[in-house]
């Protein structure tokens, strides 16, 4: 409770600011609409209004401020509108048994989730394998590690359209694969770095102890290095899954994809339906939160089982 109060207060403040910002953001749209439906507004034409500040407009047309909160295509929707849109495209459709229709966000979220998880699995596997290779081989460490760092300074989005073109040219059907590749590209690095740290975490004295038992390399790996890397692994997995989701959405954005949350954002932009964009964004945020929380839970349970955390 002590921890929740500040968070809730800050959240409430953010919501309040959001609500307050809606009126100035949308007043012009509201006035245009009112003018078209024949109501009196000052100044009378959009052209004349262009040079007047939003604050003046609000002061001169107090009657229209309420309308700013109910536009169909607002520049900034209210939290309520976003929540409403999200419900309309998820819960309500599910209730009508159309959860997997192409107009349902549940369907699009599932598409995004699938690529995210594939990318996550692929990236994690690459990261762990890379880390083992780096820890055990000096050549790999020296040649690969600098490039792993450089690979992350390359803006993947520049590559994203190419990866999609390439994979379609190579005859790979569907958009899931290239998205998963982009997701894996963003996901593998935190896992690699975390695992390298984790596998190198055992102190020399701990390694020496196993030496005195003349343990084999595999035994050292299984009994010491791997267990000590688990806390590091989970911390990186949480970063990795978030990165994986970012990668998937980036993969959906620039390429004319038609399904997935990123595609909803793209389509919302092309058809000028901001509410759809906001709802998709909220869905993506909820998904990120859920995935990270899930891994956090898994981390707690595992570490408790392993006796590493009270």
Partner 1 sequence: MMWLIFALAFWAGAWALNAALARSRWRDTRVVRIAVPVLFGVTLLVLWEGMVRGLGVSPVILPAPSVVAQTFAASTETLWEDFRQTVLKGALTGFAIGASAALLTSVAIDRSAFLTRGLLPIGNFVAALPIIGIAPILVSWFGFDWQSKAAVVVVMVFFPILVNTVQGLRETDAMQRDLMRTYAAGYWHTLLKLRLPAAMPFIFNGLKIATTLALIGAIVAEYFGSPTRGMGFRISTGVGSLSIDLVWAEIAVAALAGTAFYSLVALAERAVTFWHPSQRRR
Supply the minimum distance, in Å, between the C-beta of residue 242 and partner 1.
Answer: 4
Residue whose CB is less far from partner 1, 30 or 246: 246
Supply the minimum distance, in Å, between the C-beta of residue 104 and partner 1.
Answer: 19
Unique residue bearing structure tokens 């407009």: 57
- Distance, CA of 175 to CA of 251 (rounded, Å): 9
Residue whose CB is less far from partner 1, 49 or 224: 49
Return the DSSP state at 201. -
Residue whose CB is less far from partner 1, 209 or 298: 298
Residue whose CB is less far from partner 1, 232 or 278: 278
Of 202, 205, 243, the closest CA to residue 223 belongs to 202
- Distance, CA of 231 to CA of 300 (rounded, Å): 10
Supply the minimum distance, in Å, between the C-beta of residue 151 and partner 1.
Answer: 9
Supply the minimum distance, in Å, between the C-beta of residue 169 and partner 1.
Answer: 5
Helix axes 79-89, 4-36, angle to 10 degrees: 90
Q: Contact 156/250 with Cβ under 8 angstroms?
A: yes
Residue whose CB is less far from partner 1, 142 or 297: 142
Q: Contact 212/152 with Cβ under 8 angstroms?
A: no
Residue whose CB is less far from partner 1, 14 or 20: 14
Rounded to the nearest 10°, the torsion over CA 6, 10, 13, 19 is -140
Supply the minimum distance, in Å, between the C-beta of residue 81 and partner 1.
Answer: 14
Of 32, 35, 42, 29, the closest CA to residue 68 belongs to 29
Supply the minimum distance, in Å, between the C-beta of residue 173 and partner 1.
Answer: 17
Q: Which residues bind partner 1 (CB under 8 A)?
A: 3, 6-11, 14, 75, 138-139, 141-147, 149-150, 152-159, 161-162, 165-166, 169-170, 238-239, 242, 245-246, 249-250, 253-254, 261-262, 265-266, 268-269, 274, 277-278, 280-281, 284-285, 288-289, 292
């Amino acid at each position: 409770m002590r921890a929740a109060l500040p968070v809730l207060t800050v959240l409430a403040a953010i919501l309040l600011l959001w609500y307050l910002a809606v009126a100035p953001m949308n007043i012009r749209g509201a006035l245009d609409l009112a003018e078209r439906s024949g109501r009196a507004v000052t100044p009378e034409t959009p052209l004349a209004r262009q040079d007047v500040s939003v604050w003046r407009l609000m002061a001169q047309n107090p009657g229209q401020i309420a309308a700013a909160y109910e536009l169909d295509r607002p520049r900034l929707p209210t939290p309520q509108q976003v929540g409403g849109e999200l419900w309309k495209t998820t819960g309500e459709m599910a209730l009508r048994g159309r959860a997997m229709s192409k107009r349902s966000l549940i369907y699009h979220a599932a598409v995004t989730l699938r690529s995210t998880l594939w990318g996550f699995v692929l990236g994690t596997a690459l990261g762990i394998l890379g880390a083992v290779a780096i820890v055990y081989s000096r050549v790999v460490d020296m040649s690969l590690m600098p490039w792993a760092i450089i690979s992350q300074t390359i803006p993947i989005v520049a590559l994203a359209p190419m990866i999609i073109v390439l994979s379609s040219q190579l005859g790979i059907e569907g958009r899931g694969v290239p998205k998963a590749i982009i997701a894996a590209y963003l996901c593998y690095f935190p896992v690699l770095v975390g695992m390298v740290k984790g596998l190198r975490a055992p102190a020399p004295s701990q390694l020496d102890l196993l030496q005195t038992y003349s343990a084999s390399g595999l035994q050292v790996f299984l009994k010491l290095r791997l267990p000590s890397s688990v806390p590091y692994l989970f911390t990186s997995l949480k970063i990795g899954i978030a990165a994986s989701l970012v990668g998937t959405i980036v993969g959906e954005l620039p390429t004319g994809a038609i399904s997935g949350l990123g595609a909803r954002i793209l389509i919302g932009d092309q058809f000028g339906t901001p509410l759809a964009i906001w709802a998709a964004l909220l869905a993506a945020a909820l998904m990120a939160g859920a995935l990270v929380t899930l891994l956090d839970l898994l981390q707690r349970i595992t570490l408790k089982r392993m006796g590493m955390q009270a």
